[in-house]
A and B are shown apart, each in its own frame.
Chain A
Amino acid sequence: MPGLHFLANPARFRRFSQRALPGLALATVLALLVGLYMALIQSPPDYQQGETVRIMFLHVPSAWLAMAGYALLAALGAALLVWRHPLAALMARAAAPVGACFALVCLLTGSLWGRPMWGTYWVWDARLTSMLLLFFLYLGHIALSRAYDDSDRGDRAAAILALAGVINLPIIKFSVDWWNTLHQPASVARLGGPAIHPTILIPLLWMAGALLLLFILLVLLRTETEIDRRRLEIAEAA
């Protein structure tokens, strides 16, 4: 993949990202404004969930991005271990807290939605529990990558962890599903149902796109910061 290797050079990446950032930031703000208008004002309240359905416009994309973020961490981990891609380590360091934040937003909004809909802030539903475990995997990655005085060591250890985590995620998901059906059979109302009406689906997809832009923007910004931090580290060591 020539594109990846082209960006492997941090200085070249900076030139690329600095050119891309202003436009990306503008696009993110516009997309979020339009998306929030569609989600909070334009779309009708759900006939069952009422106004609380609007939480879903933030909740569902956050869940998608939290999962995609972990896949990104694993891909960056592989790039670091296989090709010793120098930027992959910095980007993984930048992306992990962003992904963790999306997982946390997903959990918090889900909890706020659960209070009026299920009558409780938390149930040990299979999906809630797997998202919580995904959040813990993020925390482990963040803690491990920052646990060494030698940051190269932390980056590579975290890369191995991300790969081990991504192999384990489907197993964890499967076992939590199994555990949930063993403990509490279908006592919980299920979101979604057979089909989502376009008046809900379009704002949802729009918000997903806007939050994806936000995710990319934050990761790029934080990667730049990481590059600066590494330069300072090297300058201090020299």
Chain B
Amino acid sequence: MTPVLALIARDLRLVWRRPGDVAVVLAFFVVATVLFPLGIGPEPNTLSRIAAGVLWCAALFASLLSLDRLFAADYEDGTLDLLLLAPWPLELAALAKCVAHWIVTGLPLALLAPLLGVAFGLRHESLWALTASLLVGTPTLSLIGGLAAALTLGARRSGALLALLALPLCVPTLIFGAGAVETLAMGEDFTTHLLILAALALVALASTPWAMAAALRQAGE
């Protein structure tokens, strides 16, 4: 486990020394969300009706935004070659990168979302549901996005391509994430939605590291 923790700590240190990268992602999330009331109109009922979907979509886009640099920096400066040569599994290294990505994007997004939810007129309990669903759902986005990032490493127009690959695969998470908030708003129990979100995260956790490692090995060849 030590090398994994070391790798996570290294990525977090890199972000800590250039906090602007995370700030830009969070700023994008806020600005993108704020555009919706401006486009749709300030009618409170409409806004509270669409809030969950809008916030979830914006969180999805924001977490994709930072992914194209997930492996690219390591690819360019040779760190990836060292990871390939290292005596521990590349799968764990890829997983560690995704964990670090989640800590600096998924987690802040989940904590920031309720503030924006207030502006959309979401009720108190819906705000909790929003945070809970984002906390359980965003790890899947980081893992699937990490796979797309590994596949597009060194490709032409990799940013746009990454979004094209990752978005259809993120549809289930989006549906159940936004669905959790909506179910609670209708006065029903949203535990099922959270459990399915957790199941999706576990499937991604069990499957994407292998695919990521396979993709990274090709990039290193």
Contact = CB atoms under 8 A, between A and B. Distances in A.
Interface of A: 81, 133, 136-137, 139-140, 143-144, 147-149, 153-154, 156-157, 160-161, 163-165, 167-168, 171-172, 174-176, 178-179, 182
B172 A164 contact: no
3 pairs of A and B residues whose beta carbons are closest in the complex: A175-B172, A147-B155, A136-B168
Contacts of A139: 164
Contact of B154 (A153, A160, A168, A174): A153
A148 B171 contact: no
A148 B152 CA distance: 9
Given A136-B167, A137-B168, A163-B211, A182 B156 contact: no
A160 B156 contact: no
B200 interface: yes
- Name the prevailing secondary structure of the B interface residues: helix
A164 B203 contact: no
B152 A168 contact: no
A160 B176 contact: no
Interface string B171-202: 11001100100110000000000000000100
B79 interface: no
Given A153-B218, A160-B151, A172 B168 contact: yes
A160 B218 CA distance: 11
Contacts of A163: 211
Contacts of A154: 155
B157 interface: yes
Nearest to A163: B211
B122 interface: no
Interface residues of B, number: 31
A144 B218 CA distance: 14
A155 B206 CA distance: 24
Contact of B211 (A148, A164, A175): A164
B4 interface: no
Contacts of A182: 179, 182-183
A143 B172 CA distance: 22
Nearest to A148: B155
B158 interface: yes
A176 B156 CA distance: 32
B165 A140 contact: yes
Contacts of B15: none
A238 to B, nearest CB: 21
19 contacts: A133-B168, A136-B168, A140-B161, A140-B165, A144-B151, A144-B152, A147-B158, A147-B161, A148-B155, A161-B151, A171-B172, A171-B200, A172-B172, A175-B171, A176-B171, A178-B176, A178-B179, A179-B175, A179-B179
Contacts of A144: 151-152, 155, 161, 165
A176 B167 CA distance: 14
B45 interface: no
B157 A168 contact: no
B151 A143 contact: no
Given A144-B152, A160-B151, A178-B175, 16 more contacts: A81-B214, A136-B164, A136-B167, A136-B168, A137-B168, A143-B165, A144-B155, A147-B152, A147-B156, A153-B154, A153-B219, A161-B165, A168-B172, A172-B169, A175-B176, A179-B179
A103 to B, nearest CB: 12
B95 to A, nearest CB: 16
B218 A156 contact: yes
B96 to A, nearest CB: 20
B178 to A, nearest CB: 9
Contacts of B215: 157, 160
